[in-house]
Amino acid sequence: MATWSLAAHDLVREELDQMQAVLDHLAGSRVPLLARACRHVLDGRGKRIRPTLLSLSARAAAGDDYRPSHDAVLLSAAVETVHVSSLLHDDVVDGASVRRGRVSVNAEWGSPISIFTADYLLAAVFQVLATPENVELLRGLATAVMRMCEAEVLQASSVGNLDVTEDHYREIIDGKTAALMSTACRIGALAASTESSRATRLAEFGRAFGMAFQITDDVLDIAGNAEEVGKPLGSDIRAGYFTLPIIALRNGADEATAAELRALLGRGTRISDDVVAEIAASVRASGALEYCQRVAGTYVDEALDHLSALPASEARQALEALCRGLLDRHS
């Protein structure tokens, strides 16, 4: 478990444990290989950041005397499963062989199994949420999935394009990451409280949090520590995704350095660990890292601002701490 999110987890540990039981249920299939693949990805190695956001948002919206309902636990399982399902397709697209510190489903059982396991889990989420009480929340989650897919298509169609703009990058991470985190916060709040203005605030919080989260994630992929991160560094540049650290590096480079960078990054999947280390060093030396921290910091400030509109509570405090911790995370 990542240290930056430990305090937040502590507050919602009971709900996360209950959620695991729902995940185990979702992973059940009469086809043994499918059940095995589902368990492989839902077994509890993730940071559980989206369910944590959802549970804390429920508490922050309802106040400290909030007691989680069965539906809230179900929703947590749903957002985590949607996330895991998207990772399964990402790993196929990227040909990733490691995920969360262990072998990926596509590497273990092949891409077809990864593709259909993801589809199965997505359908299972909508199946368990298909009750009259949850129908609004189900619609919100479906919309988030649509946003995620749109972002994936945007990302896929700019693979290998070093001229990608910062605006384009922001649009991608907004859909890829911020949309689901925003939805997690919103539906958590809606499940716990009838105060719709709080749900709106928490949705905005979640979006800004998601933007900061993804930027720090992209920084870790190039300038982090592989062991702490749980997967090899440089996966983005190998896949041809040029994220904020690279965009900032390119924007600040003179023509000769930019041409050099272009030549290095043009190698795609054949980019060696040494090249990754070299680019990481440039990112550090050029001030691109500080730039990323500043941009992430802007989103953290925005997220904190939204939180400040909510009544004080232990949960709000935990969300604040989670948010501030983003700027200092290592995994």
Give the DSSP H/E element, type plus range, for residue 98: strand 98-99
Burial per residue of 214-227, b for 16 or more beta-carbon CB atoms within 10 angstroms, e otherwise = bbbbbbbbbbbeee
Q: Out of 127, 165, 196, 308, which residue is the one contacting a copy of itself (CB under 8 A)? A: 127
Inter-residue contact 299 to 327 (CB < 8 Å): no
Q: Out of 10, 17, 119, 163, which residue is the one contacting a copy of itself (CB under 8 A)? A: 119
Across 195-277, the runs of DSSP E, i.e. the strands, are none
Please, which residue, 136 or 166, has the CB nearer to a copy of itself? 136
Answer yes or no whether residue 277 interacts with a copy of itself by CB under 8 A.
Answer: no
| DSSP string covering 14-80 | HHHHHHHHHHHHHT--SSHHHHHHHHHHHSS-S--HHHHHHHHHHHHHH-TT----HHHHHHHHHHH
State the minimum distance, in angstroms, from the CB of residue 127 to a copy of itself. 4
Answer yes or no whether residue 116 interacts with a copy of itself by CB under 8 A.
Answer: yes
Radius of gyration for the chain, computed over Cα atoms and rounded to the nearest angstrom: 20
Answer yes or no whether residue 136 interacts with a copy of itself by CB under 8 A.
Answer: yes
Q: Out of 3, 143, 197, 308, which residue is the one contacting a copy of itself (CB under 8 A)? A: 143
Q: How many residues of this chain interact with a copy of itself, rule: CB under 8 A?
A: 44
Q: Which of residues 6-65 bind a copy of itself (CB under 8 A)?
A: 29-31, 33-34, 37
Residue 185: CB atoms within 10 Å: 32
| Spatial distance between the Cα atoms of 241 and 56, rounded to a whole number of angstroms | 32
Answer yes or no whether residue 154 interacts with a copy of itself by CB under 8 A.
Answer: yes
State the minimum distance, in angstroms, from the CB of residue 24 to a copy of itself. 16
State the minimum distance, in angstroms, from the CB of residue 288 to a copy of itself. 27
Answer yes or no whether residue 105 interacts with a copy of itself by CB under 8 A.
Answer: no
State the minimum distance, in angstroms, from the CB of residue 149 to a copy of itself. 4
Stretch that binds a copy of itself, among 107-115, 160-168, 285-293, 310-318 (CB under 8 A): 107-115
Burial per residue of 271-310, b for 16 or more beta-carbon CB atoms within 10 angstroms, e otherwise = beeebbeebbebbeebebbebbbebbbebbebbbebbeeb
Q: Which of residues 157-186 bind a copy of itself (CB under 8 A)?
A: 157
Q: Please give the residue ranges that form the binding site for a copy of itself (CB under 8 A).
A: 29-31, 33-34, 37, 86, 89, 92-93, 110-113, 115-120, 122-124, 126-127, 130-132, 135-136, 138-139, 142-143, 145-146, 148-150, 152-154, 156-157
